[in-house]
Structure 1
């Protein structure tokens, strides 16, 4: 399907319909294997100490990252369009309060309460948004001068990394420069070259601080590879890409 035929509303509806209680319960504390071992350490390191800071979790999903940041002393607003995920996150907040405020809304279209923020984190969101540029611009607008924007995406050079590794024992890619739909088990992602994201950071007037492409610790991979040989690819190639940029 042509990615230009997707709307934000259609993508949100797909994510909302796929958000099962079972999956959210399984990953609600600190995410799945890849997030625990690759995404979370990179995001938390790039954000640095957050105690006392106002942080926007842009695309907060089931709320696990918002809760991790709040447990580290941040004052967190989580913004998420999928109603099922917001309901789950609010339920967790009610049963174990950490002071997180969850707002349901589309990042590019919903006024965010509580700003300006000291930091905005946008983890595994932008590659799932058809109209992603307004979403990134909203993140930049939500920041105070000197504020930090950290985002993570599935690495556009290595999408489907584990599956390719299982099938071929290596990674294969043959149309990196195109824009296309990446069909997933829950909802689609949208492939764009890395340059699209970095050039947009520059166009928004943000100052690039760091780009990270973490690999999986071999010790963490050792046990997981027996259950899923594709995990071995994460030791040698980056599954995720993380960018930190700041408002001048």
Structure 2
């Protein structure tokens, strides 16, 4: 674990990993996004037609494209220049998406109260200064606007966590350790590349967005639907503990 490392190191690693990451993403993103996150996010968003939406940490842009196809006017930012390049190449020019390079910790090039809705899909765990992120999202939202964000579930995906298995590979239970550690740690994402994640407790997340001025409007720990289980039966094991948690916040 590397507690003192900051966001700049995370950006460098995502730039190196961008091509490999993007290869695993199709129209619905990767499998976990298709099964868990997209249905949850879209349910919390509701009707997005004609809304001004910020995709805060858009990656290769798949969710921005989903939103734009539904009629939303999307501004999409990512701190990886390589990701933005890929997103632009993958996006039809007839979609209303403005891709911008920027770090969600400081989006000073965007004006106050510019958006009806902000979505941040699996991003805040990639940023060292999460408290500043909440302040920025609050600044950018119109009054009564919503901020919806998904992250790895901090209670179960910790710097030291994983399956306890029998010798034959059968999964016994999910082990969790180092929950109260707050800081950076490495996670392998395929091949030899390790990305940088920033762990903090559930208490820290909640206190940070309350301090920024948000109220909590909704909370979901996604699990596979019957439809998704029929399509991908191996996700049955995800009823044993959640990998993700999704918050819907309101600016009052």
- Normalised by the size of structure 2, how large is the TM-score? 0.87
Q: Equivalents in 2 of 1:44, 1:165: separation in Å?
A: 34
Instruction: Render the CA deviation track for 1:168-189: whole Å, top value 9, x for unaligned.
Output: 4211113212224342224121
Deviation at 1:85, TM superposition (A): 0.7
Structure number having the greater strand percentage: 2
Q: Equivalents in 1 of 2:172, 2:236: separation in Å?
A: 10
Deviation at 1:147, TM superposition (A): 0.4
Aligned partners of 2:127 and 2:197 also within 8 Å: yes
Deviation at 1:219, TM superposition (A): 5.5
Matching residue of 1:55: 53
Q: Which runs of 5+ in 1 are unaligned?
A: none
Matching residue of 2:172: 169
Q: How many residues align?
A: 241
Q: Equivalents in 2 of 1:84, 1:117: separation in Å?
A: 25
- SS of 2:181 mapped into structure 1: coil
1:245 aligns with 2:249: yes
Evaluate the alpha carbon distance shift between residue 43 and residue 208 of structure 1 in structure 2; reply closer, same or farther with a 3 A threshold.
same
Aligned partners of 1:130 and 1:190 also within 8 Å: yes
Q: 1:207 aligns with which of 207, 215, 224?
A: 215
RMSD (CA atoms): 2.2
Matching residue of 1:153: 151
Matching residue of 2:40: 42
Aligned partners of 1:28 and 1:63 also within 8 Å: no
Q: 2:107 aligns with which of 105, 110, 116?
A: 110
Q: Equivalents in 2 of 1:244, 1:223: separation in Å?
A: 28
Matching residue of 2:191: none
Q: Equivalents in 1 of 2:164, 2:226: separation in Å?
A: 16
Aligned partners of 2:161 and 2:177 also within 8 Å: no
Deviation at 1:105, TM superposition (A): 1.3
Deviation at 1:159, TM superposition (A): 1.0
Runs of 4+ in structure 1 deviating by more than 6 angstroms, as ranges, are: none
Q: Which runs of 5+ in 2 are unaligned?
A: 189-193
Deviation at 1:33, TM superposition (A): 0.8
After the TM superposition, which residues 26-37 of structure 1 pair with which residues of structure 2 at under 5 Å, given as runs?
A: 26-37=24-35
Deviation at 1:70, TM superposition (A): 0.6
Q: Equivalents in 1 of 2:164, 2:76: separation in Å?
A: 35
Aligned partners of 2:48 and 2:67 also within 8 Å: yes
1:101 aligns with 2:98: yes
